[in-house]
Amino acid sequence: GYIDPDDGIAPPAEVPPPVDPKAPAKAEGDEDEDEEKEGAEEEEETESGPDPEIARQRFGAVAEQLEATTKILKKHGRGSKQGVAELLALAELFMPIKLVPKQFEVLVERVRGALERLRAQERAIMQLCVRDARMPRADFLRLFPSNEVDMTWSGDLAKRSTKWAEALGRLDADIVRCQQKLVDLEAETGLTIAEIKDIN
């Protein structure tokens, strides 16, 4: 189905009629009439649903806009004026389309998966720095944000004259390996680490 943005009214939920326990039982003739009515309703219900021609047009428009958006994002980036405009145009075409919960859950699961992978790599880097190199947790929390994909971050810190600098230098390759997974995640999703975190 489709959502009509001009409607402004939530679709009514089907509520079964209340059963009155004091009401007299139906006669056999009444049951036959009810069955005939139900059969007619079932015939009407089979014809309902989205019009295939309208669906084809809408999904065709979404596909065309997605292609145009992808080209602009590759050329100008997500944060550019052109990129934002194309993403908004794509959103305008996609918003009226109702997704069944199963389809919606697939999309949400992809985002959750990316966020879980991000958190796992951040935890691994924090363990390497805090537990293994003995960097104070407060220092890690102050120094690491916004350096998630900076491959020179741990190497630069290892050159400092701190108690944990030498140990951090020995773990540099492991930290860079974790950061590379974050770089790969950015490439896969088309989002920066900060944007992935903002989704949460």
**Judgement on whether residues 105 and 195 belong to the same structural domain of the protein:** yes
Identify the pLDDT of residue 33: 52
Domain that holds residue 119: 100-200
Going by C-alpha positions, the residue among 191, 177, 188, 185 that lies closest to residue 118 is 185
Quick one: pLDDT band at residue 15, thresholds 50, 70, 90?
A: very low
- 198 and 116 inside one domain: yes
Looking at residue 13, its pLDDT comes to: 47
Structure confidence at residue 52 as a pLDDT band (50, 70, 90)? confident
Top-confidence residue, 125 or 20: 125
**180 and 116 co-located in one domain:** yes
Mean pLDDT of the chain: 81
**DSSP SS3 for 14:** coil
> What pTM does this model have?
0.63
Distances (CA, A) of 115 to 121, 188, 194: 10, 12, 11
Same domain, 105 and 197: yes
147 assigned to some structural domain: yes
Q: Is the domain of 189 the same as that of 112?
A: yes
Evaluate whether residue 46 is within a structural domain: no
Q: Is residue 16 part of a domain?
A: no
174/106 same-domain check: yes
